Amino acid sequence: VEQLLDKIPNQSRNKNYLKPLCGLPLSTYFSAVKLKWLKDNIPRVQQAMKTNSCMFGTVDSWLIWNLTGGTNGGVHVTDVTNASRTMLMNIDTLEWDTHLIKFFEIPRSILPEIKSSSEIYGHMQISALEGIPISGCLGDQQAALVGQQCLQSGHAKATYGTGCFLLYNTGNVNVTSAHGLLTTVAYQFGSDANPVYALEGSVAIAGAALSWLRDNINLFDSFSEIEEITSTVDNCGDVYFVPAFSGLYAPYWNQEARGVICGITDEVKHGHIVLAALEAVCYQVRDILTAMKKDCGIPLTKLKVDGGMTSNKLFLQLQADLVGIDVIRPEMIESTALGAAIAATLAVMDWNFDKADLNVKAKITKPIITEDERDMRYTKWKMAIERSLSWDTSAAESRNLLSP
């Protein structure tokens, strides 16, 4: 990354230099930087590129290529959602961008053909599935957005796992964030359809904070104990936990931040700390939703959620309380799989999905605390954030490679 920053005109070393083209900051997180490293450092890759026997793709490309025959005529394609995370696709034209390819010094011949998210890419060439069309392809989070039926501008979903990913549908408008969010393609249903875009924000540590409390601090033995433990206290006891174990992502982008637990007194119990860990995820989601509102000007009225943490009823109530909007969790929580199935179905049958009612039952959790209490607690969270920032002075010596 440092070498790439040196290539930026006027010696600005601006990580956002390529963002108008691809929607992404210069970061090792995205494919192009990794691909360039392989090209520059791995002799076998260098040789393969010289002999035109190298093919590049994200995991979807590898799967489709193998399923359609591999070395025996496999199809080398990707879709717009996965291509939009490589730093090589132009976010407006949805094609491999000449300037980006030249900047990273990547041979165009190794790149897959970019397709829409819903069309027939090829047919299965293995076992009993031979001849079945492969007709849907979406990135993980984009598939969850579709599966949650967030198909209108202003709709958003959050997926909670080890980390947390929020996608906010911006419609056919490519919104460039001024508040640390990423621009991505949400989906394109058909080669002739207009693409739909989204803003994305990510929380590095969500469920991983609870794993840390279990495995490193030994506050409990199983996640199933969390609701019982937190029921032993009435509130977090004014304890705030910022789980910045390796820095903070959106919207702070501070690599030097480190985890802090603030507000500890001699009356604090393990229930307070576990509850503070749950609340930390909710506050980070509010941070991102606030940034999304600033970028788009449209406040959310509801948040659709999925992922492992949403099985915890207390967590859903905390999330609703601390962001101040309804939180909607479908009973069928495999939103990513549903989104992929929807994309595949649209390619092979005439289905007016925009007006379809999938009748997915959902649990709605409404906020129950007052706005004043919500804002007071969020102010304390921001105080805790301030105490975590720029803590690791050794990390400051190396530049923040993730910051947009």
Q: pLDDT tens digit string along 148-194?
A: 999 989 899 999 998 999 999 999 999 988 888 999 999 999 999 99
- Nearest CA among 169, 172, 174 for reference residue 158: 169
DSSP 110: G
What pLDDT is recorded for position 169?
A: 94
What span, in angstroms and rounded, lies between the C-alpha atoms of 283 and 256? 20
What pLDDT is recorded for position 300?
A: 87
What span, in angstroms and rounded, lies between the C-alpha atoms of 160 and 280? 13
Kindly report the number of other CB atoms within 10 A of residue 18's CB atom: 23
- 1-137 CATH fold: Nucleotidyltransferase; domain 5 (3.30.420)
Q: What are the tens digits of pLDDT across the range 20-37?
A: 999 998 888 899 999 999
What span, in angstroms and rounded, lies between the C-alpha atoms of 125 and 311? 38
Q: Are 278 and 230 in contact (CB under 8 A)?
A: yes
What span, in angstroms and rounded, lies between the C-alpha atoms of 199 and 296? 9
Half-sphere exposure for 33 (CA within 13 Å, toward CB): 17
What pLDDT is recorded for position 12?
A: 82
- Share above pLDDT 70 across residues of the chain, in percent, rounded to a whole number: 96
- Nearest CA among 331, 329, 289, 314 for reference residue 368: 314
- Nearest CA among 98, 155, 199, 144 for reference residue 404: 199
User: Residue 40, SS3?
Assistant: helix
- 160-393 CATH fold: Nucleotidyltransferase; domain 5 (3.30.420)
DSSP 404: -
Structure tokens at 244: 């910045």
Kindly report the number of other CB atoms within 10 A of residue 181's CB atom: 27
Element (H, E) at 293: helix 270-296
What span, in angstroms and rounded, lies between the C-alpha atoms of 112 and 96? 9
Dihedral sign (CA 331, 301, 81, 123): positive
What pLDDT is recorded for position 258?
A: 95
Q: Are 239 and 263 in contact (CB under 8 A)?
A: yes
What pLDDT is recorded for position 401?
A: 44
Is the peptide bond preceding residue 195 cis, with omega within 30 degrees of 0? no
Q: What are the tens digits of pLDDT across the range 108-163?
A: 999 999 999 999 999 999 888 999 999 999 999 999 999 999 998 989 999 999 89
Residue 400, pLDDT above cutoff 60: no
Q: What are the tens digits of pLDDT across the range 261-282?
A: 999 999 999 999 999 999 999 9
- Nearest CA among 282, 277, 283 for reference residue 237: 277
What span, in angstroms and rounded, lies between the C-alpha atoms of 265 and 388? 19
What are the boundaries of each domain within the chain? Answer: 1-137, 160-393
Q: What are the tens digits of pLDDT across the range 309-360?
A: 999 999 999 999 999 999 999 988 788 999 999 999 999 988 776 666 677 7
Structure tokens at 138: 């979406």
What pLDDT is recorded for position 90?
A: 97
Q: Are 103 and 47 in contact (CB under 8 A)?
A: no
Residue 11, pLDDT above cutoff 70: yes
Q: How confident is the model at residue 397 (pLDDT cuts 50, 70, 90)?
A: low
Q: What are phi and psi of 179, to 5 degrees?
A: -135, 35
CA distances from 361 to 262, 332, 333, 354, 372 (A): 39, 8, 10, 18, 32
Q: What are the tens digits of pLDDT across the range 79-119?
A: 999 999 999 999 999 999 999 999 999 999 999 999 999 99
